[in-house]
Amino acid sequence: MKKILLNSNILWTITQFRKDLIMELNKNYEVICIADKDDFSDNSVEIIQTLGVEYIRIKLNRKGVNPFGDFFYFLELLKLYKKIKPDLVIHYTIKPNIYGSLAAKILKIHSFAVVSGLGSTFIKDNFLTKMITTLYKISLSKTQKVLFLNQDDREIFLKLNIIKEKQSLVLPGEGVDAERYRGCDAKNHDESKITFLMIARLLKDKGVYEYIEAIKNIKSKNVQFLLAGVFDKDNPTSIKEQELQKWIDDKTVTYLGKTDNVKEFFQQADVIVLPSYREGLSRVLLEACCCEKFIVASDIAGCKELCVDGHNGFLALPKDTASLTSALNKTINLTKEERVSKGKLGRELVINHYSSSIVNGVYKKLIEETF
């Protein structure tokens, strides 16, 4: 039986976004997952064990570029790949994409690189961006397929001559099982108020500050605002815990914490908000659409594909508190019936274009062509 490795930065990104893919691949291949541990979830290891695949932990420093740390990570990958002798490695996130693809290139192992989002590195244009671009060019030169979650990210890589056009493909997301997200109707909250919820890692780049400032601008008393998500202290744009505590103390927002069952949070909200600066293809918005939630999101790659302005949500300009405030006010002015009917359109959008069966079909075809 052929071996397929999935290599990502932390285990949570595998169990959160690639669970359906693993179950599909496990039917015909031996699947092994490589990643560092995480504190985003309390049961990532348990989830991977229930899937019946092997998990190998490899330490990875996600903070910026550390030449010594990154070099040892690369050597560890070389050693692992030599020992396991995989037939294919699928890499996710920046450092596995760069150093894992380079290791596969040296060992002449088939590999895919999935660019699940460009992150804060490509939001800016500085020395780090240029260095990452150079590393990508070197490592991806022999990669069989470089997969993107939106067309904008693909165009950036092509424009920078990081990859060849024939290498690249846009995936319809990471896949989501819409049936898993039934029964998300808002309950256990004051139905006389519209409840907005932002779910995201607590980062500046996710638009947390814009969300908080927009909340302060809303004059309506017929609303309440929730925030959920984990601190990501390894990320340079992480929100500080004392900042969040001040917003809680000021009663600006109610913080729900983190969960391994996002449906519990969706059941407390009428509208899902994501004012992010950049996404691959937002998982939160995919899940929100499956739950038939009306959404408010930034007009950016990775959000605009799922939030069709005026259809199943409203778009706001990124990094623009006034624009976000306007989108929230427009949502408040909708009737409940309008919000509910438009939310159903979001579910149809996901089922028709972004379901797990569609995404897994693309993976299976690419893998069969590779072998």
* pLDDT tens digit at each of 371 positions of the chain: 999 999 999 999 999 899 999 999 999 999 999 999 887 777 888 899 999 999 999 999 866 667 778 999 999 999 999 999 999 999 999 999 999 999 999 999 999 999 988 766 665 667 777 888 999 999 999 999 999 999 999 999 999 999 999 999 999 999 999 888 887 877 656 667 899 999 999 999 999 999 999 999 999 889 999 999 999 887 888 999 999 999 999 999 999 998 888 899 999 999 999 999 999 999 999 999 999 999 999 999 999 999 999 999 999 999 999 999 999 999 999 999 999 999 999 999 999 999 999 999 999 999 999 98
Predicted model pTM: 0.90
Distance CA 47, CA 209 (A): 33
Superfamily of domain covering 178-353: Glycogen Phosphorylase B; (3.40.50.2000)
Q: Which residue ranges make up each domain of the chain? A: 3-175+355-370, 178-353
**3-175+355-370 topology per CATH:** Rossmann fold (3.40.50)
Cα–Cα nearest to 346, from 301, 307, 304, 299: 307
Torsion of CA 163, 168, 173, 174, to 10 degrees: -80
